[in-house]
Amino acid sequence: MKQTDKDSVDLIAAQWQKERPELELLPMEIIGRFSRIYKYASRTIEKCHQDFELKPGEFDVLATLRRSGEPFTLTPSQLFNSMMLSSGAMTNRLDKLADKGLIKRVHSEEDRRSVYVSLTDKGLELIDLAVEEHLNAAASLLEGLSEKQKGELNNALKYWLSLFERG
């Protein structure tokens, strides 16, 4: 696609321009493109996770445990705080992952009320394979961009995200 080619958002913007020429459409165009790209990307990443019989949230739990480093163990609170989930949603995910044999819950020796969540050997093996395919899927979504464009896009998105996360 060349810079002069029209995409689906250009067609929508042209209709609005004709009907309401006084409107500033650039914000709608940016968010519209961002939203459409997100949908394409989500489908690709979800398909990747399905290949490993994981839902996206289950992948996130396993990936969070894996990137925490050895012994690949966190408390449920550490998990749901890092993933911005409710404790109920986290419990549901943990139950499903435990049923699949991918994580185990271990009670603390010091305080039996404290529980730790750890990757099992099976979970570690699965997430190590799944994260490689996840990265391959993400890379495939960016194939049409040059290295320079990827860097510029990453920097622009990083800055934009920082505007929301300053809070």
Classify residue 23: in a domain, yes or no. yes
Whether residue 1 lies inside any domain: the answer is no
Same-domain check for residues 125 and 75: yes
State pLDDT tens for residues 91-146.
889 999 999 999 999 887 777 778 899 999 999 999 999 999 999 999 999 999 99
pLDDT above 60 (res 8): yes
- How high is the pLDDT of residue 110? 75
Where are any strands of DSSP class E within the chain?
73-74, 103-107, 115-119
Instruction: For residue 58, give the 3-state DSSP assignment.
Output: helix
3-state helix, strand, coil in the chain (%, to 5): 65, 5, 25
Question: Does 62 have pLDDT greater than 80?
Answer: yes
Averaged pLDDT, 32-61: 95
Residue 1 pLDDT more than 60?
no
Domain that holds residue 33: 7-50
**pLDDT band at 16, cuts 50/70/90?**
very high
Can you give the pLDDT at residue 99? Answer: 97
